[in-house]
Amino acid sequence: MRSDNGTPFASTSAGRLSRLNVWWLKLGIMPERIEPGKPQQNGRHERMHRALKAETARPPAEDRQRQQRRFDRFRQEYNQDRPHEALGQQPPAASYETAQRPYPKQVPEPEYPGHWECGRGAGIEGCGGPKGLTTNVIFTCPAAKASLGRQLLHRPLV
């Protein structure tokens, strides 16, 4: 899932993982981040936000119900009616397909190889653990409320 480096997509915790990232990882969705300060690397998303703000929030509606109606109209027009150049002048709904992968009733906890050592706060700055541990260690950071292997910590999340 490609995103920028802001909330809720990134944090200052271990591995820059937010709660949303951890949830995605448990579902098998790999986060992919753009470089900080380079919104052009996510241009389509930035363009959608510009249109969303212009058509729904500037100026804001008088109350929540009217604001929600603006958002609902925008979603209908953007996804169902408005042609998109990148989609051959078709609206996104014309090419949308339901995912074939079933959504689990309960999000699974990560499974790690049996030879990995597990420990709380082991080796992640800000979590109170020592530095310089071997590769086969699971890190658990109470601040991030997540466990992650050192391999994942150093995996590029560009």
Shared domain for 92 and 138, answered yes or no, is no
In-domain check, residue 63: yes
pLDDT attached to residue 57 = 94
Query: Does residue 73 lie in a domain region?
Result: yes
Q: Is the pTM here over 0.75, yes or no?
A: no
Tell me how far the alpha carbon of residue 93 is from its chain's centroid. 22
146 occurs within a structural domain: yes
**Cα dist from 110 to 26, 81, 89, 119, 149, whole Å:** 6, 41, 42, 15, 10
CA–CA distance, 103 with 101 (Å, rounded to integer): 7
Q: What is the DSSP string of 11-31?
A: -SSGGG--HHHHHHHHTTPPP
47 by DSSP, 3-state: which?
helix
Per the structure, the count of domains in the chain is 2
pLDDT per residue, tens digit, the chain (158 aa), is 888 888 888 888 767 888 888 888 888 888 888 998 898 999 988 989 999 999 999 999 999 999 999 999 999 999 999 999 989 999 999 999 998 888 888 888 777 676 665 554 444 444 444 444 444 444 555 444 555 554 455 444 43
Q: What is the predicted pLDDT for the residue at 28?
A: 84
User: Is the domain of 84 the same as that of 55?
Assistant: yes
β-pair partners for 98: none
- Which pLDDT score is estimated for 29? 87
DSSP-assigned beta bridge partners for residue 137 = 117
The pair of structure tokens assigned to 101 is: 């992968």
Residue 120: per-residue pLDDT? 46
Task: Provide the domain limits for residue 93.
Answer: 43-98
The answer to whether position 136 is within a domain reads yes
Report if residue 27 sits inside a domain: no
Let me know if residue 37 belongs to a domain.
Answer: no
